[in-house]
DNA sequence: CACGCGATTGCCT
DNA sequence: GGCAATCGCGTGC
């Protein structure tokens, strides 16, 4: 049994508090550490004065070295340059006519990042429903390109600094129920498909993939 | 400049 | 579970 609510009614949660934002030192660690550490954190952007976003429930690490699946594996190019930016900044890339967002880790020039794969929707749900063209909460942010569409994220946000930009927030949650974490191989890869660099909140209904893979 | 592919999604069987 | 849609980018002619 899952501890998640069965209905699609959003539970009341506090508004994101910018004073709880993660500092740059959080991102200046090993990429798997940051990927695991981001689980449970709040991720939101301010759009038209309102916060939109939710709780991070699924991430993947993409390494600077010995990782053929990483966009940095063949060096720096115009399109992946933001992945070599300062830790705590965004790397947004296009794929299949959609976008996915990463948070840069380690240090500037390294080329490592964490892909945010899924959020539990908490704020701006009506906005996300409108942007996604879907009503059900489970179809808003359950996948890396879904959440970018829900939050209106695209290449314009490539390089945005999450630590200092007042319209973006990655923060300590409050309150935070206890949860367990599982590590697995990453999703959808043809190369380096066997590296255990995916992290997700056990049993959470907003984790992507089949329900049987959530445990 | 043509071609092929991908850290995806959604519809179909 | 299979597979088509879709398009920016890297590669090579």
- Are the CB atoms for A187 and A209 separated by under 8 Å? yes
* Protein chain A, residues 4-43, with a C-beta closer than 7 Å to any atom of nucleic acid strand B: none
What does the pLDDT read at residue A6? 47
* Protein chain A, residues 78-107, with a C-beta closer than 7 Å to any atom of nucleic acid strand B: 83, 91, 93-98, 100, 102
- Are the CB atoms for A22 and A172 separated by under 8 Å? yes
Residues with CB under 7 A from strand C: A 74, 77-80, 94, 96-97, 155, 210
Q: Which residue is nearest to nucleotide B6 (CA to C1')?
A: A95
Mean pLDDT of A191-208: 97
* A180 — pLDDT class (breaks 50, 70, 90): very high
pTM for this structure? 0.95
- Are the CB atoms for A136 and A14 separated by under 8 Å? no
Mean pLDDT of A86-111: 98
DSSP A97-122: TEEEEEEE-SSTTS--EEEEEEEEEE
What does the pLDDT read at residue A3? 42
What does the pLDDT read at residue A213? 61
Q: How far is the CA of A143 from the C1' of B9 (A)?
A: 9
What does the pLDDT read at residue A9? 61
Mean pLDDT of A17-30: 96
- For residue range A130-162, what is the model confidence (pLDDT) as tens digits? 999 999 999 999 999 999 999 999 999 999 999
Whether A188 sits with its Cβ under 7 A from any strand B atom: the answer reads: yes
Burial of A134 (0-12, 13-18, 19+ CB in 10 A): middle
């Amino acid at each position: 049994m899952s501890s998640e609510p069965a209905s699609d009614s959003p539970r009341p949660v506090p508004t994101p508090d910018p004073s709880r934002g993660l500092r740059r030192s959080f991102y200046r660690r090993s990429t798997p550490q940051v990927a695991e550490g981001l689980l449970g954190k709040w991720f939101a952007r301010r759009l038209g004065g309102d916060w939109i976003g939710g709780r991070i429930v699924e991430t993947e690490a993409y390494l600077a070295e010995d990782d053929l699946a990483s966009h940095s594996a063949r060096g720096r190019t115009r399109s992946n340059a933001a992945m070599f930016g300062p830790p705590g900044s965004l790397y947004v890339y296009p794929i299949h006519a959609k976008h996915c967002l990463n948070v840069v880790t380690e240090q500037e020039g390294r080329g490592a990042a964490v892909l945010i794969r899924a959020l539990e929707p908490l704020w701006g749900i009506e906005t996300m429903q409108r942007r996604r063209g879907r009503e059900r909460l489970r179809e808003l942010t359950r996948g890396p390109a879904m959440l970018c569409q829900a939050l209106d994220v695209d290449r314009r946000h490539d390089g945005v600094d999450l630590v200092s930009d007042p319209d973006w927030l990655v923060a300590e949650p409050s309150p935070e129920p206890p949860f367990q974490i599982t590590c697995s191989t990453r999703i959808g890869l043809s190369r380096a498909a066997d590296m255990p660099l995916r992290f997700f909140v056990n049993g959470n209904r907003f984790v992507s993939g089949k329900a049987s893979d959530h445990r």
